[in-house]
Structure 1
Amino acid sequence: MYQTTEVNFMLKEGVYEQLINRELKQKLKQLSLDKYLIEKEELDVEEAKTILSDYISSIVKKALRFIRENSKQNDKEALLSQIEACNELIRILANIARERNIEEFKIEEEGEVLTALYSKINSIKAVKESKAVRPITPLSQSSLFTGSAQEPNMMSELKKEILCCDSIDMLVSFVKWSGLRCIIEELREFTEQEGHRLRIITTSYMGATDYKAIEELSKLKNTEIKISYDTERTRLHAKAYLFKRETGFTTAYIGSSNLSSVAITSGLEWNLKVTEKDSFDIIKKFEATFESYWNDGEFIAFNGEAQEDKERLKTSLN
């Protein structure tokens, strides 16, 4: 960081990836090229929609905050003013794009958010007559878990994620019974439902995986397990969990937690929860990479009813 007497503002030296707006352009103009190296590049056409939409999103957030803070109205009226501002932007974009269908995205003035939609016919949720299970952390905004007592418990969140998704992919270097038993009932309820699918990729490296954990997983319906039996080395150090939702609200946890009790309960583990809504490309890369591992010959399908598979796993873990 540096200060300058040439201009009445402060800039920080370093690398940027900042779209140049009017304000920044004026500030850059006031810097002497004899004293400062200023590097710029043209906006890439293919990346433009992402960069420009991210930029506009940040401006909209600021504007909506100003509307809220400067409003002398009550909360309901202030919310309506924010909705009206958003709808005006949508109207303008529809006109510029010459696509009237964009106006269908205008927000209803009631200011409501859809949080669940399930059939009441042949539905467990209808029988229970309770609100749909959902994690405490948002399904549309990424968040970081650090094991702090001030944030939602990782195990509790995993349980809720399991009970409100359509398919699950787990990628962990080892599976401990101590960790699996924390979520086994939720996994059992999940896999009992028609159309659901659970896939696990793990290893027998250093004998860290518990045989009982794999055995219990293999008893679940709609569940597939693949294992790397290389006991000398492992290429798999990832710890990642994907909860696929056909609604478009897929989430994934990527970080340091293997499936062990300490890792998902009390350990100082760091895990980043990413969402399809704000990290679409990351979710798609997760899905594609998992599929490539699933189809890699190093990971062998485990059949809990096949004596040969059970003996191979026991030998590999001993």
Structure 2
Amino acid sequence: MFECAPNGYFVRDLIVFNHLRRGGYVSKGFIFEAPDLLNSPASDLNAFQDQLCLLLASLHEHQRLQVQYFCDSDFRSELLRYQQETERFTNVWTKRARNERFTRYWQAMSERKLRRQRVILYISRALENVPTTFQIAAARRDYYATLLDQLVTEYDHVFRLLLEIFGSAGARILPMSDLDHFRHYKRFLNPSLAERFDYDPSDSFAEELTIHENCWHSEGSGQSDFGFFLDGHYHSMVVHHPRDQQGGKGARPRGRRLREREKGLAADGDGEEAEEDSRADAGPDHPVQRDVHDPRVGQDEGRT
């Protein structure tokens, strides 16, 4: 367990925690847009479950997978792009109809009548390299540059692997850039930004600053009973124990943020323990009953 919040940098479309040597960690996020399986037959659900099991089995010894699921009402980028396309039309009635749609949907977004479910896969690994003790500055810079090149290549391979696993099901995988990582951290650590659809946090991104300096701009206050208060929101953590208490696997934390329609769920684990759970939860005759597009997922996880 960390005694304080982990800190690091956004580097080369990666997140580097602590430092680039033993004791450090590197991670990268992938935006996962799953196909809509709500009304799909059991065979498609089973096939998608097999793909999830294949993803867990593909994790090597030092890798961990974290799934970030959350809901929001943010369609800002899509609506602004729609409005930019509207400006290029010359037909008056076409522009009038599109402007009406833009205004109506923007108002619905501001009133939180729109709902979007998002899933981000974070794949992380521990660093085991130890640099030479005595090196000149130029040699040390070359060493770290080479190490970053290797990590970028490794995560390019992870991206291609995700495409191979989920591509046949119609899922869309988007690797996250430094700005994408920054936006996710910024909005997670400052949930009040969900109220400001006119503000783009990427304008304040500075790559030379740490994650805390870039993203953590509010103080937290611990509660006497449970949870803590941060940036105008209450936060809590629910610990889920595996079925087999004698297996020594320990508890797995799941962080939650509950606010009206916007809820968040984080679940992490390595390939070995997750594969055991998948075998216990569902066999070939027990299809996955819900997917990330099912609105009941957010509702169920939001109950306390």
- Pick the TM interval, shorter chain: under 0.3
Give the strand-richer structure, 1 or 2. Answer: 2
TM-score by length of 1: 0.26
TM-score by length of 2: 0.27
